[in-house]
Structure 1
Amino acid sequence: MGSPWKVRFLKDIIRQERPTVVFLCETLSSRMQLERIRMQINFQGMIVVEPQGRSGGLALFWKENGQAKLLSLSKNHTDVELNIKDMQAWRLTGFYGEPNRSQRRRTWDLLRHLARDSNLPWCILGDMNNIVSQLDKGGAAYPQSLIDGFNAVLEDTGLQDMDLHGHQFTWERGRNTENWLEIRLDRALVTHSWFDLFPMAKLYTMEGSPSDHCPIYLEPKGNQRWQRKKRFRFENAWLTEPLCMQIVKDNWEVNEDSSIVYKVQQCGEKLEVWGREVTGCFSKRIKECKMQLKQYRNGRDVQSLQRYKEAQQQLHLKLKDENGSWVEWQDGLKELLTNYYQELYSSSQVDNDEVINCVKPKISEKQNVQLMKEITEEEVREAIFHMHPDKAPGPDGFSKSYEKLLDVVVSDTQSAFIPGSLISDNIMISYEVMHYLKRKKFGKEGFMALKLDMSKAYDRIEWKFLEAILRKLGFCDWWVYLVM
C-alpha cells in the first residue's frame, strides 16, 4: 500500500460503495503507514499484522467503534466477531493463503482449526491462493492434488464458495503477452448459517485496480433490516397528475383524528407506492417507447400506425405555458422557449436607488491607491510558482492587493461562494430560526419569518446594479472600468 495510486483507488472504492469493513492482504506496510490510511478513509477501528521481511502483511478496518471484536490472528488471518447495528452478530475472517505450494497444507490446517473456534455464522474473505476447479485458471492446468486438497477442506469445514459476479479472474500476470496468466485466487467462503442470515448476498469483482489483484466486494443482503430504506422524496411531476391531489385528500380524511406527523408519514407512503407506478421509472418507460417505435415502424395497418403515433407522442417534449396549457413543438414550443430566455436575459429597467442607498462605503482612498498599483514581476512569479500543476488562473488581471479587500467587502453573514462555507448552510440557519419561532411563546416582542422566491444570484444580474454597488462601496472609477 505504499503507492499513492493504490491508496487513491482504495479511497475511491470506499467513497462509491461505502463498506462497513475493509480487509487488505499483502499490504507490505508498517502499522504507522496503515494508521495514516485509516485516518484518510475515516474508519474508527483497525487490526494490523505487520509484514515479515518483504512479504505478507494484513489489515482489517471497520467503520465505527465497537463493530468488531478480535477473536484471533496470525500472519495469515484476522478473525473478528462483527456487531453491526440492526444485524445479528456474525464472524468475519480476513484470510491470506500460503503462497508456497509446498506449504499449502498449512493453509488447510489453519482453516480446519478456525472452523472449530466458533458457532457464529461465518464468512472467510481474502486471497486464498487456492482454486476449486480448473475453470478458475486460464492457461496451463493447475495441480489437481492442490485442487482436491482445498475442496476436501471446504467439505470438512462446511464452507461453500460464493459465486463471483463480474470478471471471473482476480489475479493476473503478463497481460498482452504470450505468457498472460489469469487465476481466481480471491474469494469468499461462507457457512450455511451465514447464507441463511444473508440469502441475497452477492460477491462482485471491481475493475480498475492498480495492483495485480482485482478487489472483490461482498454485499451481505438478507432481511429488510440490513437493506437501507430509501428516503421518501416528493416529485414535482406528480402535480401534473389529477390522482395525486385525490390521494392526499383521501389520506387526510381517513386519518382525520391523527396527528399531523402521522398524516404526513402515511401520505408519503401512499404517494411513494402510487408514484412508483405512475412516474417512478422514466428510463424504463422511455426504453419501452423506443421498442414500440422500432416494432411498429414498418407497419402499414391502422393499429400499427396508431401505436407508432402514441409511442412517438410520449417521447415528445412538452412544457406548460404561462396559462398552464401544455405546448408541444408543433403548437409553438419553439417560440415558448425563445421567449423565456429572451425575457430572462433582458434588462428589466429596475430602479435600484432604494437598495443602493442602504449600502455603506467600505473602500478607503488608501485602499484604492493599493488597487491601482501596477502588478509587479515578483507578484507574477509568486502566483505562478504557487500554482497547482493541474490548475490555471483566470485572466482577470486582479493583483494580490485585491485579496486583502475581500474581508472588508464581503459580509460576515455571506455563505455562498466563500471558501470554507456552503450555500446549504442557509438551510440549517433557517431551521434554527423556525425552531426558535415555534418555541417562543412568551414575551412582549414577537417575530415573524418571511419566505421570498428569488432568482439565484448566478441566474441573472443587472449590469447597472453591479456598477452602482461597486461605486457605492467606494471603488475608484478605474477599478470599476476594469470589472465592467
Structure 2
Amino acid sequence: MNLLSLNCLGLGNPDTVNALRTLVRREAPAMNFLCETKLCGRDMRRVRERLGEYNGIEVDRVGRSGGLTFLWKKEVDCNFVSTSVHHVDCHIREREKEWRITGFYGWSAVSDRHLSWELLRLLHHQSAHPWVCIGNFNEIFYFTEMKGGSRAQWQMNNFQSAIDDCGLRDVPWEGYKFTFDNGQSGDANRQCRLDRALCTETWLDLFPYARLFHLDREWSDHAPLRLAFDRREIGSKTRSRFRFEQIWVGEEGCEEAIIRGVEKGQEDLVDSLRACGKELFAWKKTSIGKISRSLELKRKQFARLNEGDRTERSVQKQRKLIAEIASLYRQEEQYWRQRSRALWLRDGDLRVGEEEVSTVAVDYFKGLFTSAEPSNFEAVLEGIEGRVTARMNHVLQAELKRKLLKL
C-alpha cells in the first residue's frame, strides 16, 4: 500500500489535471491526499472520475483558495472521521492493523500559523490509534530546511513544540531535500521543506519499513510525496512501474508480444506473466511510445534542473519544459481519445438500452415456460425409478366421492 500527497496549486486547468492523472497512473497509489485544489466539491468529483476508481471526500475551496480531497481505492477499508478546510482525518483497517491518517494543510499566513498547531494538538487528543499525518505544513523545523530568504526562530520553535506535544516524528525520507520552490531565479529564489509526513512511534511500529519519497516537482511549486508503507513499495523514486492498458489490445504488435511472452514462460503461469510483461514493455517503448519517450526525456531534463541553484537561464528553461510537457500530455490525451473513438466505430456501441433488456428478458422467460409439445416420453423415463406404487396409483385414479368433498 502507498499514498500520494500533493499541494496541487489548483486543478482548474485541463493541463494540470492531465499531469495529475499521469502521476497517479505512474505511482498507482492506494490513497491520495490533494490540497489547494481550488475547486468546489462538484468539480473535484469530476476530476476524481478521471483519476480512476477511487472513493473520496471533498472539502470545498474558500473563495479562490484552499480545497482538499482525500481519495482511496475501493478495496481500502477507510472510515471518514472529520474534516475542516485544513485537514481530512480517517481511520484505516488493514488485516489486523487499525490506524489513523490525517491529510494536513497548514495556514499559509505567519500571523495565523498558531492555528495550525492548535488544530494539530486537537487532532492528537481525538484518538489513540497509531497515527500518520501528511501534507503541506507551511513551516520548517530548522534553518537547514530552507535555502534563500529568512525565517524567525520562534516560528520554527512553535512547530517543534506542537510536534513534541503530539508525540510525532519525521517518517524516514529520501529525495531532494527541499519540497517547495518559488520558481524565481538568483537571490529571489526560495526553497524549503514545507511538505512532510509525521508519525507516532506506534505507527512506525506497525510499519517499520515505511519511507517517504520526495518525487520530482513538475507543474506545481510543491513536490509530490509518495509514502510507501512496506518493503514491497520501497524502491527508486524513478522506478518505472509496468501497467497494462486495455486499449493496447487494438494496437498492432500487442498480440504478438503476448504470444512471445507465453512461449517464453512455457507451462509456468508466473513465468509466463513475467515474460509477457517484459515483452509488452519492450513493445510499448518501440511501438507506442513516441510521445511517452519524449515525455520521459523532458521529465528527466526537468528533474535535473529541480536541484541546486536557480539562474535566470535555468528558470527560463524550466518554464519552457513545463510548457512542452503540458503540450505532450495534451497530445497523448488526444491520441488515446482518437484511438478510443476508432475502436468504438469499428466494434460498435456495446451498451444496451432498457428497451432491449426488457425484450431479451421477455423472450427468455417466454421460451422457458412455453411447451414445445414433446413426445416419446417412454424412452426418457425408462431409466428413472418409480416412486408411485400400483396401489397409490389406483387410489389417485379412483372416482371422487361426494362424502370426501364434505370433509
> Shorter-chain TM-score category?
0.5 to 0.7
The residue correspondences of 1:199-210 to structure 2 (distance < 5 A) are 199-210=208-219
- Quick one: distance in 2 between partners of 1:184 and 1:73? 25
Structure with greater helix percent: 2
| Contact map agreement 1:44 1:65 (CA 8 A) in 2 | no
Structure 2 equivalent of residue 83 of structure 1: 93
- Quick one: distance in 1 between partners of 2:13 and 2:333? 20
* TM-fit CA distance, 1:211: 1.2
Structure 2 equivalent of residue 41 of structure 1: 51
- Pick from 133, 137, 143 the counterpart of residue 146 of structure 2: 137
- Quick one: distance in 1 between partners of 2:157 and 2:262? 57
Q: Residue 188 of structure 2 aligns to a residue in which SS?
A: coil
Structure 2 equivalent of residue 26 of structure 1: 36
Structure 2 equivalent of residue 5 of structure 1: 15
* TM-fit CA distance, 1:236: 7.5
Larger Rg: 1
- Quick one: distance in 2 between partners of 1:205 and 1:419? 45
- Quick one: distance in 1 between partners of 2:111 and 2:36? 19
| Contact map agreement 2:172 2:210 (CA 8 A) in 1 | no
Give the aligned length.
251
* TM-fit CA distance, 1:8: 1.2
State the one-letter code of the partner of 2:101.
Answer: L
* TM-fit CA distance, 1:215: 1.0
After superposition, the C-alpha distances for 1:213-238 in whole angstroms (9 at most, x for unaligned) are 1111111116x8x99xxxxxx99789
Distance 1:53 1:200, change over 3 A: same
Structure 2 equivalent of residue 247 of structure 1: none
Structure 1 equivalent of residue 80 of structure 2: 70
- Quick one: distance in 2 between partners of 1:389 and 1:162? 36
2:207 is equivalent to residue 183 of structure 1: no
State the one-letter code of the partner of 1:169.
Answer: F
Q: Which stretches in structure 1 are left out of the alignment for 5+ residues?
A: 228-233, 240-260, 270-387, 392-402, 408-417, 422-484
- Quick one: distance in 2 between partners of 1:46 and 1:238? 40
State the one-letter code of the partner of 1:107.
Answer: S
2:256 is equivalent to residue 214 of structure 1: no
The residue correspondences of 1:97-176 to structure 2 (distance < 5 A) are 97-176=106-185
| Contact map agreement 2:37 2:61 (CA 8 A) in 1 | yes
* TM-fit CA distance, 1:36: 0.5
Give the number of the structure with larger relative contact order, counting CA–CA contacts within 8 Å between residues 6 or more apart.
2
After superposition, the C-alpha distances for 1:284-341 in whole angstroms (9 at most, x for unaligned) are xxxxxxxxxxxxxxxxxxxxxxxxxxxxxxxxxxxxxxxxxxxxxxxxxxxxxxxxxx
| Contact map agreement 2:133 2:197 (CA 8 A) in 1 | yes
* TM-fit CA distance, 1:162: 2.1
Distance 1:65 1:164, change over 3 A: closer
Q: Residue 68 of structure 1 aligns to a residue in which SS?
A: strand
Structure with greater strand percent: 2
| Contact map agreement 1:43 1:61 (CA 8 A) in 2 | no
- Quick one: distance in 1 between partners of 2:51 and 2:333? 25
Q: Residue 111 of structure 1 aligns to a residue in which SS?
A: helix
- Quick one: distance in 2 between partners of 1:45 and 1:235? 36
Q: Residue 91 of structure 2 aligns to a residue in which SS?
A: strand
After superposition, the C-alpha distances for 1:60-95 in whole angstroms (9 at most, x for unaligned) are 1111166221111111101001234x4612111010
After superposition, the C-alpha distances for 1:220-268 in whole angstroms (9 at most, x for unaligned) are 116x8x99xxxxxx997899xxxxxxxxxxxxxxxxxxxxx9xx89xx8
Aligned-pair Cα RMSD in Å: 3.6
Q: Which moved more, 1:127-136 or 1:64-73?
A: 64-73
Distance 1:40 1:102, change over 3 A: same
* TM-fit CA distance, 1:43: 3.0
Q: Residue 62 of structure 1 aligns to a residue in which SS?
A: strand
After superposition, the C-alpha distances for 1:158-181 in whole angstroms (9 at most, x for unaligned) are 100123311111111133343011
Structure 2 equivalent of residue 342 of structure 1: none
| Contact map agreement 1:5 1:210 (CA 8 A) in 2 | no
Distance 1:419 1:195, change over 3 A: farther
* TM-fit CA distance, 1:137: 0.6
State the one-letter code of the partner of 2:31.
Answer: V
Q: Residue 125 of structure 1 aligns to a residue in which SS?
A: strand
Between the aligned residues of both structures, percent identity stands at: 32
With normalisation by structure 2, the TM-score equals 0.55
State the one-letter code of the partner of 2:45.
Answer: E
Structure 1 equivalent of residue 7 of structure 2: none
The residue correspondences of 1:17-416 to structure 2 (distance < 5 A) are 17-64=27-74, 67-84=77-94, 86=95, 88-221=97-230
State the one-letter code of the partner of 1:67.
Answer: D
